[in-house]
């Protein structure tokens, strides 16, 4: 989520108060490679499309392992390259690079690499699967310009023209920060990479695993 982290944290706290959860739920902004918590703190941990941004997967999983209580579970969705990805295929490599650049990823690991990293961190694997393989609808549908939808319209040639013109105008007027047009351009390439990766089944944002810290 974009914006001032301090303001967002205050908003989260206020929403907690309104929902009556301020006594049982809190927010901490921290580095997940070095969390400000003691060993064996949490009863359960989950991550959704977050730990794929870690510069060191094993190190990140080890830190999660450290703060998790023995016998308890960690579950996550990861962005991964599938077994269909061929690192020697130039088209595959281009798609992977577009996904990484547009989504701020240091490296999109394979499902096998994620699984190996979990084991190296000390976890017992209970269950793991690429849930995209059984999905009744393609996960990239909102980004697919070959099928019209409100969300995909902005990615069509006309939609991109409108977006690009608006961003350039806002940047020229200094309402949007310098570089906004460049960011908009590589986000468009990222969307293309995601759709291409989904169609070719070389990329999935739905690799799910459930692991446990041994007693």
pLDDT tens digit string along 154-198? 666 667 778 788 888 888 888 988 888 888 887 888 889 999 999
**Cβ neighbours of 186 (radius 10 Å):** 14
**How does pLDDT run across 113-157, given as a tens digit for each residue?**
999 999 999 999 999 999 999 999 999 988 887 766 666 666 666
For the ranges 27-36, 68-77, 144-153, 196-205, the lowest mean pLDDT is seen at: 144-153
Q: Decide: 200 and 115 in contact? Cβ < 8 Å.
A: no
Tokens 């793991």 belong to 128
Tell me: pLDDT of 6 over 60.
Answer: no
Spatial CB neighbours of 147, under 8 Å, sequence gap ≥ 6: 141
Question: Averaged over 51-70, what is the pLDDT?
Answer: 97
pLDDT at 47 over 50: yes
Nearest CA-CA partner of 206 in 34, 61, 81, 54? 81
User: What whole-number percentage of the chain has pLDDT above 70?
Assistant: 90
Is residue 201 pLDDT above 90, yes or no? yes
Contacts of 41 (CB under 8 A, 6+ apart): 67, 68, 69
CB contact set of 152 (below 8 Å; sequence gap of 6+)? 142, 143, 144, 145
Residues 52/43, Cβ–Cβ less than 8 Å: no
pLDDT value for 2: 42
At residue 188, the pLDDT reads 83
Half-sphere exposure of 202 (CA within 13 A, CB side): 21
Task: Catalogue all structural domains in the chain, each as residue range(s) with its CATH number.
Answer: 1-29 (no CATH), 31-212 (3.40.50.150)
Residue 8, pLDDT above cutoff 70: no
pLDDT at 1: 36
């Amino acid at each position: 989520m974009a914006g001032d982290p301090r303001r967002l944290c205050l908003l989260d706290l206020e929403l907690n108060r309104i929902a009556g959860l301020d006594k049982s739920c809190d927010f901490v902004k921290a580095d997940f490679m070095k969390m400000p918590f003691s060993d064996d703190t949490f009863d359960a941990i989950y991550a959704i499309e977050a730990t794929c941004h870690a510069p060191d997967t094993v190190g990140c999983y080890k830190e999660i392992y450290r703060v998790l209580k023995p016998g308890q579970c960690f579950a996550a969705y990861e962005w991964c390259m599938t077994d269909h990805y061929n690192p020697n295929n130039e088209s595959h490599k281009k798609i992977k690079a577009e996904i990484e650049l547009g989504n701020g990823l240091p490296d999109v690991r394979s499902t096998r690499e994620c699984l190996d990293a979990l084991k190296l961190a000390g976890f017992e694997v209970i269950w793991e699967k690429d849930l995209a393989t059984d999905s009744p609808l393609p996960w990239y549908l909102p980004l697919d310009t070959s099928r019209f939808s409100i969300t995909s319209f902005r990615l069509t040639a006309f939609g991109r023209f409108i977006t690009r013109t608006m961003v350039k105008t806002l940047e020229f007027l200094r309402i949007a920060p310098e570089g906004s047009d460049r960011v908009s351009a590589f986000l468009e390439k990222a969307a293309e990479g995601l759709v291409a990766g989904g169609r070719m089944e070389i990329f999935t944002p739905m690799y799910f695993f459930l692991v446990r810290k041994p007693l």
